[in-house]
Amino acid sequence: MRTLRVAQLFALLLCSLITRAQQTQQISSLDRDRARAMLENISNDVRKHYYDPKFHGLDWDFKVKETREKIDKAPGLNMALSNIAGALDSLDDSHTFFLPPSRPYKHDFGLELQMIGDRCFVERVRPHTDAETKGLKPGDEILSFNGYRPTRQSLWKIEYVYNALRPAPGVRLMVQSPGEAARQVDVLASMRALKKVMDLSGSDATFDIFELIREGEDEEHRLRARSVEFGDDLMILKFPEFFLDESQVDSVIGKAKKHKALVIDLRQNPGGSVDTLKYLLAGLFDHEIKIGDRVTRDSTKPMTVKGHSHGFEGKLMVLVDSKSASASELLARVVQLEKRGIVIGDHSSGSVMESKHYNYKLGIDTVSFYGASITDANLIMSDGGSLEHSGVTPDELLLPAPAEMAAGKDPVLAHAAELCGVKLGAEEAGKLFPYEWAKQ
């Protein structure tokens, strides 16, 4: 199958939803009005807050008008929401996107996919799902996803369409296991019904608000920073997201200081708080450093960090992969530019902007929530380059083989430990930080 340009692919993905939407859903006048209101609210904030007032040469007013006309003709609500997503996607910006209203059900294919180099693989399969029953395993290569060949540019859009914009009940995959012939696998999603209306006042006997609190606590626990120590020689820090406060980062750095070497594993880290990034960088340098220039619609200002004289001074390794994005890419690139350590792994995501989330609601008694992420700053590194669409090229490009993924081995982490003087087998490395699935 020939490779499509990203914009073409996204348009085809959205259009592929039309036929099924026509068969399963008719849009009401109320829902059409709501879609128009969503577009109006989001487009106004893009107009006011997007970091580039020229929108990269895109005629934003025309794009909004065109999208409004598409919503007027949309056969179903899903297609109307897809039109809004398509309008934001036309800015070709990793941090500007539509957050559609949540659905009254939990939707999960039970698969975690990842680009390794330029190929897409199954990284994990949730136990007791249709995907596991159909024999999918880590290390299986995904040759096509509902007829589309996943690429580094398209995988997130494919997942966005089929998981968020229009959660599909099933998908058709072309899969190839290591050493075997390609096969077709139809995977059904698990669909758990939720309450269509939730009482967030806390007065209802069902205490819906406490259920949301528990979900947030579970997510916070899953994304906690974890570490493993090998005497005073090495500490390995698994850093899933940049959402620690200054005292938490100081605690992590305090532990790291007791060791000769530190491996910071930023694989699959999508980024997060700029403040957390600054706290962590401050703990790795003993002098002031420049992350880059923050370019907004009104000004360009340097983003600097003052180092700590009592920070970690030992040998440093940083691990990245295709899911390392935003703040994790910035940390890795600063380490490279300052010659502070070695970056190992796969080419990173190339999704490096600074954005703000805008939350909206429609309705009075019964409220529908939706949102948008809008980029308000670009970041130009100290070498004059931007990581957006380019990413970080590791100092050592090291990719796990499909058979190693299938066996649960982690040769990248094992190699980093070896460079730090610690003998760690790939199989042992793969067991250091067991993956924890979100509760369904």
Average pLDDT over residues 312-316: 97
What radius of gyration, in Å, describes the C-alpha atoms of the chain?
23
25 versus 417: which is more confidently predicted? 417
Q: Please tell me the predicted confidence (pLDDT) of residue 219.
A: 76
Residue 10 has pLDDT above 50, yes or no: no
Neighbours of 356 (CB within 10 A): 13
Q: Please tell me the predicted confidence (pLDDT) of residue 22.
A: 36
Residue 90 has pLDDT above 60, yes or no: yes
Residue 220 has pLDDT above 90, yes or no: no
Q: Please tell me the predicted confidence (pLDDT) of residue 152.
A: 95
Q: Please tell me the predicted confidence (pLDDT) of residue 136.
A: 98
Neighbours of 411 (CB within 10 A): 18
pLDDT tens per residue across span 38-79: 999 999 999 999 999 999 999 999 999 999 999 999 999 889
Q: Please tell me the predicted confidence (pLDDT) of residue 212.
A: 59
Residue 3 has pLDDT above 50, yes or no: no
Neighbours of 168 (CB within 10 A): 18
Q: Please tell me the predicted confidence (pLDDT) of residue 86.
A: 96
Confidence of residue 164 (pLDDT cuts 50, 70, 90): confident
Average pLDDT over residues 6-35: 57
299 versus 195: which is more confidently predicted? 299
Whether 303 and 312 have beta carbons less than 8 Å apart is answered as no
Percent of the chain having pLDDT more than 90? 78
Backbone angles phi, psi at 184, to 5 degrees: -95, 135
Q: Please tell me the predicted confidence (pLDDT) of residue 406.
A: 95
DSSP run (H or E) holding 30: helix 29-49
Q: Are strands 226-230 and 234-238 parallel, antiparallel or unpaired?
A: antiparallel
Q: Is residue 376 classed as helix, strand or coil in its secondary structure?
A: strand
> Which of 33-42, 345-354, 359-368, 409-418 shows the lowest mean pLDDT across its residues?
359-368
165 versus 63: which is more confidently predicted? 63
Q: Please tell me the predicted confidence (pLDDT) of residue 309.
A: 82
Backbone angles phi, psi at 16, to 5 degrees: -65, -15
Mean of the per-residue pLDDT values of the chain: 89
Q: Please tell me the predicted confidence (pLDDT) of residue 102.
A: 79
194 versus 345: which is more confidently predicted? 345
pLDDT tens per residue across span 324-348: 999 999 999 999 999 999 999 999 9
Residue 224 has pLDDT above 50, yes or no: yes
pLDDT tens per residue across span 365-412: 677 899 999 999 999 999 999 999 999 999 999 999 999 999 999 999
Average pLDDT over residues 354-367: 87
138 versus 167: which is more confidently predicted? 138
pLDDT tens per residue across span 110-130: 999 999 999 999 999 999 999
- DSSP letter for each residue of 108-146: E-SEEEEEETTEEEEEEE-TTSHHHHTT--TT-EEEEET
Closest by CA to 361, choosing from 8, 34, 21, is: 34
236-268: b (≥16 Cβ within 10 Å) or e: bbbbbbbbbeeeebbebbeebbebbbbbbbbbb
The domain limits of the chain are 6-92, 218-353+377-429
Sequence letter at residue 420: C
Closest by CA to 398, choosing from 382, 383, 374, 418, is: 418
Q: Is residue 206 classed as helix, strand or coil in its secondary structure?
A: coil
395 class by beta-carbon count within 10 Å (0-12 exposed, 13-18 middle, 19+ buried): middle
Percent of the chain having pLDDT more than 70? 88
Q: Which CATH class is domain 218-353+377-429?
A: alpha beta
